[in-house]
Structure 1
Amino acid sequence: MSLVVADANEKAAVSLCEQLEHLGIEAISASDLKLAQSICAHAEPQMVVCCSYDWAEQLAGAHRRIPIVLARPEAPDAQLLTQALRSGLADVWTLPMTDELVRQRVNDTFERYASAATQAERRLSQYVADLQRDQRAGRYIQMGMLPPNPMAIDRYRIQHRIVPSLMLSGDFVDYFRITDRHFVVYVADVSGHGASSAFVTVLLKNFSRRLRREYRPTMLSRPGEILEWINRELLEQNIDKHVAMILAVVDVQADRAAVVNAGHFPPVIRVRGSGAQFVEQKGKPLGLFDAVDYEPEVLDLGSGESLVIFSDGVLEAYPDESLAQKETRLLEAARAAGSIDGVWNALGLDAEVDVPDDMTCLILRLES
């Protein structure tokens, strides 16, 4: 074991160190507070004995895991003992002490701290287990909110994949009929990660259900009105989150998709034959601004064409590439849009990849 004796009186510090060494306890002296703090920060001694209450109090506040003992030549009164307890000191010694008493007090302090550390570790392990169980339950619920995968709506086939960076995801997709002739499809990327972002996806799923019941006919040709509605809802909730989203309303009779973009990057990719290109659009993220406007890009789709949407987490899987290289990679992968597996393989993401953000891909394909 290793101890530090912190005392401005170098002679007294050396004397106590010699007594500890005689007991087989390795000890070093620190003649000023700055040196004692440095030793605690870098060497992590098993105990510090201070002869100054101010030093002991500062060290106890900065190094909670190290027992800090106050050693004084005068016996402590009740007030000092109370202050020491409140400051987090491990013990108060009255010097000088016999070798037997020093050994006993040192061992008692170590045993108390070891027991406390064991209990803390046990509580932490239980807390982590409870948290993981809750997150697994949350993940199960979140997966249950997602639409069938794949899903066919008339001649359209829709499939998706979400790979969360944590157990819960801030990415979300949904697609559903809104009339006999129209269906809605969207990809949403909630700011942040984890449980707080996942909570917003619950709001989005609730909005999907409301949209089916409360949509206005004008929204079918002007889907920007849907985004404006979501934007108002998020602002009214007054949550510290915003959402990037690509949303399309598809007319299955005219084979026409009206696409709007609320600050989502990368934009939707249109795949025709062997070619793929981004559909560049502008728009503010949802939940940040009162005044928003979203102009739709109307795409007439032909048999075999696909629309592919990635979340920006896919870009972060390639930290060493430039943005231009990443965009080229997405376009090349989108050409394999016959299946999600094909796209993932083309991206080199068929194996597990540690990424700092959720990764999502959605493919909407008009079958021949």
Structure 2
Amino acid sequence: MYFIQPTRDIPYLDQVLDALPSVQMINIEDLDLYDPTIIAIADVADFLNHQWTLPTIVLAFEHEGAALAQAWQQGALAGWVWDHIPTNLQVALTKIDAQYKRNQDSRDLPSAADLQKRLLPNPIELHNYKVETFFQPSAYLSGDWYDYWKISDKEIMFYLADVSGHGVTSSLLTSWMAAFHGRSKTPRELIKKLNGMLVQENIEKHITMIAGILNLDTHVLKWSSAGHYPPAILFEPGLPARILNTSSFPLGLTEDLEVEEFEFTLNRYSRFVICSDGALEPFDGGLNEQLGQLVYHLQNQSFQAPDHVADDIAILSLRRIN
């Protein structure tokens, strides 16, 4: 924490400095040399005269109430009277510092959200196939994630994951997955690898996931689920939608995760769709009723999420177009 040397005479200066924890004394003319994110303590007159951008706690004389009010309007974090500083100064400073950091984090959220969206995979051109996606966080940052990438000229790997909870920690895990899915060659291998790393790091979160690999020549799709709901859905022309139910545990609960692999051939004009559970939120009823409505709207390509949702939504669809 900085203490900016006052430019006017302050009778209580030594008393205040003795009461403060360790601070670094700096001069006004040197402000540009210091970290602009560290809180400074300064005389209110200097703060108003120089209008620096450092986060600042101002000190004023008892008759300078108007100056204190003006300082608050200009962004001062707090205002004290020179000869009536808080009794437990360390506690007061800790609270102000914590609140300042929370406010800074909140201001950074829009930028963080923009960065997270940029980490989503770019659109991809595939022979005979179209990849369609939907992504809508409930707040700034999402705990839902999808990714896809070519592992050869004729194969594409993909997954959709849902991290438990919301907020910054969950969103960081989505970035972690994007960075560490590695060189897996099968859905089972991908899930086992991510699970092992999650258990090893002892992160108190679990992740549900559906992962798959599609051969663009043979149209064989192999996929696995790790405790994910809603289940994958297969839409085929002229046939009822198939709900591909499985039974398995999420990632992060046990080192000995059993992962079953399934496969089928994706026929012409068929779609394989995976969603996060937030896709159920726009619909009323219990889980079965919500799932039925979701399937109906996906089949008729009429799914729409409200502007404000209670849970993150992610949808990934692989459509065979020839």
TM category (shorter chain) comes to 0.5 to 0.7
Q: Judging changes above 3 Å, is the alpha-carbon distance between structure 1 residues 127 and 269 closer, same or farther for their aligned structure 2 residues?
A: same
Q: What does 1:1-368 correspond to in 2, within 5 Å?
A: 123=77, 130-149=104-123, 151-208=124-181, 210-211=182-183, 215=184, 219-220=185-186, 223-274=187-238, 275-318=240-283, 320-336=284-300, 342=301, 346-349=302-305, 351-352=306-307, 354-368=308-322
Alignment check: 8 A CA contact 1:271 1:334 kept: no
CA distance in 2, matches of 1:270, 1:196: 32
- How far the C-alpha of 1:196 sits from its partner, in A, is 0.6
- How far the C-alpha of 1:170 sits from its partner, in A, is 0.5
Equivalent in the alignment of 1:98:
none
Q: Which amino acid aligns with 1:131?
A: D
Taking only the aligned residue pairs, the percentage that are identical comes to: 29
Q: What TM-score do you get using the length of structure 1 for normalisation?
A: 0.59
Deviations 1:101-124 (A, max 9, x none): xxxxxxx9xx79x96xx68x9649
- Unaligned regions of 5+ residues in structure 1, if any? 1-107, 337-341
CA distance in 2, matches of 1:332, 1:292: 33
- Unaligned regions of 5+ residues in structure 2, if any? 1-61, 78-95
CA distance in 2, matches of 1:171, 1:142: 11
- How far the C-alpha of 1:187 sits from its partner, in A, is 0.4
Alignment check: 8 A CA contact 1:190 1:243 kept: yes
Deviations 1:107-156 (A, max 9, x none): x9xx79x96xx68x96499767633431122112211211123x322222
Deviations 1:243-293 (A, max 9, x none): 100001111121011110001100110000143121111221011111111
CA distance in 2, matches of 1:250, 1:200: 25
Q: Which amino acid aligns with 1:316?
A: E
Deviations 1:220-263 (A, max 9, x none): 4xx21221111001112221111100001111121011110001
Q: What TM-score do you get using the length of structure 2 for normalisation?
A: 0.67
CA distance in 2, matches of 1:260, 1:122: 54
Higher RCO, 1 vs 2 (CA within 8 Å, ≥6 residues apart): 2
Computing the radius of gyration over CA atoms, which structure comes out larger, 1 or 2?
A: 1
Quick check: which one's helix share is greater?
1
